[in-house]
């Protein structure tokens, strides 16, 4: 039995994505659902990127697991209040245009006739059934992979679980532990904090909020891409299919509805996905990648530098002889992305900018920050008395930037030296309270 908050499921039988031409009408077929599933930005359902390999990794190269420290994004949730308002307003209007004037095949239009918003503002950002299942299954796989080294029952001296002060993070934690222990355990959760210095450090960084999140320059590349030939082509195509002119804002609302409604239901696509071909989805995905690159990734040094607050906790717990060996934090997209950038993961040789749309890139939030994304370190004790560390992202052993190339594990001593300076200089209050002068993102790139 899953711990559930308000759950909403949309049951639509939909098809996607390559066109079948019937005169000048757009028709979606069922040949490439994967095109949708893996291009939904931070709303991508975890089931399409998870590692299903559950071979035991409690021992690697003769080294045995001794500690774990991990960050886990909450599972699939409902949209924010603003997106829900778009569903009840903008999309209801577009639905009417599609039914009355749309240049789509009759079967596709029939699915729009049946569509209606399934959530209200009261449900905003609540964890849904699929989100609970994502974390429950993640906990089950953890148990299988580390079998023999994780205690079978909850023990406060061995385990430390903590979540942010949000319903979606709390119920993600509860579902994870239910899967991990295969039973409901009386977990001792500490009091959640609104501004947790480890789980959501950026909430306490006023300078980051002013210099990045609310800085118009941080959205410069997104705005430029919004005026690109690629985006103009998307506007033209979708306006023709819908039967009336649609704005980029309306297209964003359709993309978000496509993403959320598809993430909610394991078996069905949202009808709003029927409007999108491969190129359209790629353009919309890149717009999302630009946004998160500049606001939560590598665009500004301060963005990822402040993540030292979380990694200081990692080293303190790994170095402690008395702290619980297994630490699990349940948090949010902003923490995961900033932490990936702090570690130097998925960094492209060139900054992501509007004109680089056709370039192959590493920074793809659909893959690196889906719902239920996870980033955890496992410490192993080796036969020669040394300690090594493995980094797992999305449940896959991932090379640690700066560690010997090709090595499955990195010696803990080497790993720690990589971050010595940044942890030692991690004066969070100072870095987050310095005077702010608006600058172009390019002025702050390293």
User: Which residues make beta-bridge pairs with 63?
Assistant: 60
The rounded distance, in Å, linking the Cα atoms of 185 and 307 is 31
DSSP label at residue 434: S
The rounded distance, in Å, linking the Cα atoms of 329 and 311 is 12
pLDDT on residue 25: 83
Contact 219, 441 (CB under 8 A): no
Positions in the chain short of pLDDT 70: 1-23, 29-34, 434-446
Q: Which domain holds residue 310?
A: 33-79+125-216+280-432
Judging by DSSP bridges, how do beta strands 59-60 and 63-73 pair with one another? antiparallel
- Is position 375 within any domain? yes
Residue 228: enclosing H or E segment and its boundaries?
none
Q: Angle, to 10 degrees, between the axis of helix 333-343 and the axis of helix 308-319?
A: 80
- Is position 193 within any domain? yes
| pTM, entire model | 0.91
Residue 328: phi and psi, rounded to 5, are -130, 120
- Is position 301 within any domain? yes
pLDDT on residue 2: 57
18 contacts: CB under 8 Å, gap ≥ 6? 28, 29, 31, 32, 277, 278
pLDDT on residue 11: 32
**In the chain, how many domains are there?**
1
Contact 372, 425 (CB under 8 A): no
The rounded distance, in Å, linking the Cα atoms of 35 and 319 is 44
pLDDT on residue 35: 77
Q: Is 59 helix (H, G, I), strand (E, B) or coil?
A: strand
- Is position 194 within any domain? yes
The rounded distance, in Å, linking the Cα atoms of 444 and 298 is 10
pLDDT on residue 33: 66
Contact 262, 366 (CB under 8 A): no
pLDDT tens, residue by residue, 306-315: 999 999 999 9
pLDDT tens, residue by residue, 202-261: 999 999 999 999 999 999 999 999 999 999 999 999 999 999 999 999 999 999 999 999
Radius of gyration of the chain (CA): 23
The rounded distance, in Å, linking the Cα atoms of 181 and 161 is 13
User: Which residues make beta-bridge pairs with 391?
Assistant: 377, 398
Residue in the structure block whose two tokens are 């079948």: 20
Name all contacts of 424-427 with Cβ < 8 Å and 24+ positions apart.
425/308, 426/308, 426/309, 426/312
- Is position 275 within any domain? no
- Is position 223 within any domain? no
- Is position 346 within any domain? yes
- The token pair at 437 is 């002068």
Contact 436, 207 (CB under 8 A): yes
The rounded distance, in Å, linking the Cα atoms of 375 and 171 is 19
- Is position 404 within any domain? yes
State the CATH number of the domain containing residue 56.
Answer: 3.40.50.1240
């Amino acid at each position: 039995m899953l711990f559930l908050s308000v759950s909403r499921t949309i049951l639509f039988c939909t098809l996607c994505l390559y066109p079948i031409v019937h005169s000048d009408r757009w028709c979606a077929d069922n040949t490439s659902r994967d095109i949708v599933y893996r291009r939904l930005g931070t709303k991508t359902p975890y089931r399409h990127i998870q590692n299903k390999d559950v071979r035991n990794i409690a021992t690697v190269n003769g080294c045995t697991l001794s500690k774990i420290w991990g960050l886990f994004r909450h599972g699939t949730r409902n949209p924010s209040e603003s997106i829900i308002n778009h569903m009840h307003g903008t999309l209801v209007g577009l639905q009417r245009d599609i039914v009355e004037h749309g240049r789509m095949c009759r079967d596709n239009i029939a699915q729009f006739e049946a569509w209606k918003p399934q959530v209200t503002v009261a449900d905003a950002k609540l964890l849904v059934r699929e989100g609970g299942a994502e974390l429950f299954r993640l906990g089950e796989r953890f148990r299988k992979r580390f079998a023999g080294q994780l205690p079978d029952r909850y023990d406060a001296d061995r385990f430390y679980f903590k979540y942010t002060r949000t319903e979606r993070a709390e119920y993600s934690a509860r579902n994870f532990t239910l899967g991990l222990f295969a039973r409901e355990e009386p977990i001792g959760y500490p009091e959640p904090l609104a501004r947790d210095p480890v789980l959501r450090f950026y909430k306490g960084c006023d300078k980051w909020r002013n210099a990045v999140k609310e800085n118009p320059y941080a959205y410069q590349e997104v705005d430029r891409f919004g005026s690109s030939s690629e985006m103009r082509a998307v506007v033209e195509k979708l306006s023709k299919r819908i039967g009336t002119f649609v704005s980029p804002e309306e297209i964003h609302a359709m993309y978000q509805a496509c993403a959320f409604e598809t993430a909610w239901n394991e078996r069905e696509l949202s009808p709003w996905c029927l409007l999108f071909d491969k190129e359209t989805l790629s353009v919309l995905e890149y717009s999302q990648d630009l946004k998160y690159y500049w606001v939560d990734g590598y665009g500004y040094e301060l963005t990822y530098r402040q993540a030292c607050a979380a990694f200081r906790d990692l080293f303190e717990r790994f170095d402690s002889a008395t702290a619980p060996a297994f630490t699990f934090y349940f948090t949010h997209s902003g923490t995961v992305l900033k932490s990936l950038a702090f570690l130097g993961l998925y960094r492209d040789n060139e900054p992501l900018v509007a004109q680089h749309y056709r370039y192959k890139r590493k920074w793809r939030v659909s893959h690196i920050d889906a719902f239920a994304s996870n980033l955890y370190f496992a410490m192993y004790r080796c036969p020669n008395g040394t300690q090594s560390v493995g980094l797992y992202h999305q449940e896959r052993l991932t090379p640690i930037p700066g560690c010997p190339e090709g090595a499955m594990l990195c010696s803990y001593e080497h790993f720690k030296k990589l971050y010595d300076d940044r942890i030692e200089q991690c004066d969070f209050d100072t870095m987050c309270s310095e005077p702010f002068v608006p600058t172009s993102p390019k002025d702050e790139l390293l």
